[in-house]
Structure 1
Amino acid sequence: MAKYLFAVLVALFFSLNAHSADGKSTGNFAYYGFEPDIVTNYISNRKKLGFVKISVELMVKDPKHLQQIEHHDPLLRAAIVEVLGNQPEDKVKSLTGREDIRRECFETVNRLLEAETGEQSVVNLLFTKYLYD
């Protein structure tokens, strides 16, 4: 339950902070969700194979960017899977580690989009579901 509450609070925080200092909205944001959920293995300290299943939502600056994001979905999905697959078990299972992973995924996605489209259109990356074993 705490895992889901954390994701909701992060989403709420960023939606409330989507205004400039003068109170006006800074953008017409849109969201892109990866379907189906991303499932991959991670580096486990035990002999048992560890896995993580996440739902990822990308917050973009403008709805016009959704078509670009959808076009590059396979590239972005593969990058997120690679980031998750290279994480140690203790990082996957901790709240601070999860935030580090989220930031790394966000930076990787924006770096790839800038290389492919010439601009960083993703404002935020949210884990709306985060399950591990």
Structure 2
Amino acid sequence: MKKIASACLFLLLAAFNAQGADDGALEEYAYYGFEPEIVTNYISNRKKLGFVRISVELMVKNPSDLVSIEKHDPLLRAAIVEILGNQAEDKIKSLSGREEVRRECYEVINRLLEAETGKPLVVNLLFTKYLYD
């Protein structure tokens, strides 16, 4: 329900901004956040099981695309969990590795969305929280 309310708010703001914009001079972007945060295990070098907890935001160019993304939330979430679960500890814990994981998530999500909706909807994927142990 919270996601639907935020999608409606984005659509309302987009409509309001469209009335005051100078012939579409400014592009409008919207964000979709996965709730709850994604928590999963990764391949650890230690005997202890490693985990990562992230908040992911998907940036879309058209606020109306939020409805399609919300519809496919479980598919996208599962893809991110699978990608994270297949990473080595060194990659999870390094800055360059985190960027590689982010890029891989972005590419896989756009491929999945293109297969489901006919077009890649995500302009950018952001990790707004990234904690590991």
Range of TM-score over shorter length: 0.7 to 0.9
List runs of 5+ in structure 2 lacking aligned partners: 1-24
Q: Does 1:90 align with 2:94?
A: no
RMSD across aligned positions (CA): 0.7
In percent, how many aligned pairs have the same letter? 77
TM alignment of 1:1-133, pairs within 5 A: 24-25=25-26, 27-133=27-133
TM-score, with length taken from structure 2? 0.81
Question: Secondary structure of 2:107's partner?
Answer: helix
TM-score, with length taken from structure 1? 0.81
Tell me the number of residue pairs that the alignment of Structure 1 and Structure 2 aligns: 109
The equivalent residue for 2:12 is none
User: Which entry has the higher C-alpha Rg, 1 or 2?
Assistant: 2
Structure 1, residues 55-110: CA drift from partner, whole Å, max 9, x if none? 00000011000000000000000000000000000000000000000000000000
Deviation of 1:28 after TM superposition, in Å, equals 1.0
Code of the residue aligned with 1:89 in structure 2: it is: E
Code of the residue aligned with 1:92 in structure 2: it is: I
List runs of 5+ in structure 1 lacking aligned partners: 1-23
